[in-house]
Amino acid sequence: MWLRARVCAVRDETPDIRTLTVDVDGWLGHRPGQHVDVRLTAADGYQTQRSYSIASAPEAGRLELTVERLDDGEVSSWLAGEARDGDAFELRGPIGGYFVWDVTMAGPVQLVAGGSGVAPLLSMVRHRVAAAGDQPMRLLYSARSLNDVVAHDELVDLAARDSGFELVLTLTREQPPGWSGHARRVDAALVAEALWGPETEAVTYVCGPTRFVESVASALIGLGYRADSIKTERFGPTGTP
Amino acid sequence: MNDRTLDGNALGGLLDDVFAFEITTARCTCDGCGAVRVVGALRVYADAPGVVVRCPDCDDVVLRFVREDGNNRVWLDMRGVRVLQIRSAG
């Protein structure tokens, strides 16, 4: 069922990524990790739709979608470019019960993000804070440069004041002067170095471009993680269908 | 596997009005190899005229899905699904 959504705020996260706060008529809430389908209809009736992850915690009053502008993305170029306060569009969701984590799930949890794939993982991070979850959580986040890190200050602050949350950044293209963090793509060696071992029985959520997710998932399997402890969300080059 | 491959999780919205239950958490037995996987963990190829879902273990086609423009008709080919195990919400 398609619901009517209205943009109530727009915030630039990075040069290419924007967060839209939306009001949705009849919204019933979501679980961290779920996504929505957005449908746009042109004046001539042409319709196009794409999936976007929810970045806000369920506890937040309003829904936030964090969207990367893609060169060939009809929907993303509108959402992350032209959409303004008060603009309306259609939305369906929340969708998906597989790539979902909440504080009722026991044990340590690791999140691995490639670029804007951090969006559904941010919902999990924010939910853990809002619901006072005590599960150890680690986020390994790969971005091109420091300017491309979504919610950078929020994540750094959280890691500084919450001993249960760890942030590991890797900047693949450009590093600021004096950068002491990782500076390479997430490969098997970095997965082994930056994540917990399989003996911790951690559950790992991986989200990003298809090739990124594939390489991280293969590395985890190679390190001895059970396949059913790894949950993946590939978003392909133009977002999900 | 190519750089346009998606996860079964992407099927949630597409099949939302076809099934009365949450499809991405249903367990699917592949008819090709017998592997049991959660639908959310299957491979999805959405660039074909329809959507093709394949088993990550043996690469056989599990399910194909085509929706007519205007959403008037849907074709669902479930040739590779031997068993679908559904957990009810209640």
Domain chopping of chain B, boundaries:
6-81
Query: Which residue, chain included where needed, has tokens 């990550």?
Result: B56
Q: Please indicate if any CB of chain B lies within 8 Å of the CB of A241.
A: yes
- CATH code of A109-234, in short, is 3.40.50.80
Which chain A residue has the Cα nearest residue B17?
A1
For residues B74-80, give the mean pLDDT.
94
pLDDT confidence bin for A194, thresholds 50/70/90 = very high
Contact B4 A241 (CB under 8 A): no
For residues A138-159, give the mean pLDDT.
97
Contact B7 A92 (CB under 8 A): no
Instruction: State percent of chain A over pLDDT 70.
Output: 97
Question: Nearest CA to CA, how far is A41 from chain B (Å)?
Answer: 12
> What's the fold here for domain A3-95?
Elongation Factor Tu (Ef-tu); domain 3 (2.40.30)
> What's the pLDDT score for residue B89?
62
For residues A166-173, give the mean pLDDT.
97
Q: Please indicate if any CB of chain A lies within 8 Å of the CB of B86.
A: no
CA–CA distance, A151 with A133 (Å, rounded to integer): 20
pLDDT confidence bin for A240, thresholds 50/70/90 = very low
> What's the pLDDT score for residue A238?
44
In chain A, beta strands by DSSP E: 3-12, 17-24, 35-41, 47-53, 63-68, 88-95, 109-114, 137-143, 165-171, 203-208, 230-234
Number of residue pairs across A and B with CB atoms under 8 Å?
Answer: 74
pLDDT confidence bin for A236, thresholds 50/70/90 = low
Which of A59-63, A69-73, A227-231, B11-15 has the lowest average pLDDT? A69-73
Closest CA to B80 of B42, B40, B41, B25: B42
Please state the ipTM of this predicted complex. Answer: 0.83
CA–CA distance from B78 to each of A81, A95, A102 (Å)?
A: 39, 21, 32
pLDDT confidence bin for B81, thresholds 50/70/90 = very high
Query: Cα B21–A99–B23 angle (5° rounding)?
Result: 20
Which chain A residue has the Cα nearest residue B9?
A96
Q: Which long-range contacts (CB under 8 A, 24 or more apart) does A152-161 make?
A: A155/A125, A158/A125, A158/A129
By DSSP bridging, strand B51-54 and strand B61-67 are antiparallel
Which chain B residue has the Cα nearest residue A237?
B4
Query: Is the pLDDT reported for residue B37 higher than 90?
Result: yes
Query: Is the pLDDT reported for residue A241 higher than 50?
Result: no
What's the whole-number average pLDDT of chain A? 93
